[in-house]
Amino acid sequence: MPTSTNTTSLAATLQRAHRLSVRQYRSELTRLGLTARQAAVLLAVYAEPGMGVTDAAEQVGADLPTTSALVAKMAERQLIMRGDDPGDRRRSRLYLTEDGHALVAPVMAARDAADARITLAAGDDAEALRAILAHLIAGLTGAGTVQPMKDLS
């Protein structure tokens, strides 16, 4: 028999917090003509021009076929261009176009506004929340040995 209801489930609570925290961010991205994953690819390529599609997939937490489709759509919209990889002719490198660069600042502003809303909602617990979430991510991704959290109070 289940020990928790949907309203007390930690997974459901995290899912609801995520939905609420990104609602306005996604709305702003939609206004810019982007999905959240496209925005993530845009910012990843901005941060590391010349990255490959595999690197972009790892950065945005998506599988390779999904990322390839995102890149193809973004290239079609002339936000990203593919360049040759001099070390491996089978691979291509990703670069932002002028139109892609023009979207970086509005995407970053939307992301920063979302972060500010979350920080405001978390109040004095914002840094503790950030630490707990980093600890949770490390534990769920198997990123090395996860030590017990120290007392944050």
Reported as a single tens digit per residue, the pLDDT across 4-21 is 555 679 889 999 998 988
**Which pLDDT score is estimated for 96?**
98
Pull the structure tokens for residue 150: 């120290």
**Which pLDDT score is estimated for 92?**
85
Through-space distance between the first and last CA atoms of the chain, rounded to whole angstroms:
34
Q: Quote the pTM value.
A: 0.79
Residue 148 confidence class, pLDDT cut points 50, 70, 90: low
In a domain, 22, yes or no: yes
In a domain, 125, yes or no: no
Residue 138 CA from chain centroid, whole number: 16
The per-residue pLDDT of the chain, averaged, comes to 87
Query: Looking at the 3D structure of the chain, how many domains does it have?
Result: 1
In a domain, 68, yes or no: yes
In a domain, 119, yes or no: no
* CATH code for the domain of 20: 1.10.10.10
In a domain, 127, yes or no: no
Check if the beta carbon of residue 64 is closer than 8 Å to that of residue 91.
no
Residue 3 CA from chain centroid, whole number: 32
In a domain, 70, yes or no: yes
Range of the domain at 45: 12-104
In a domain, 51, yes or no: yes
Rg (CA), the chain: 19
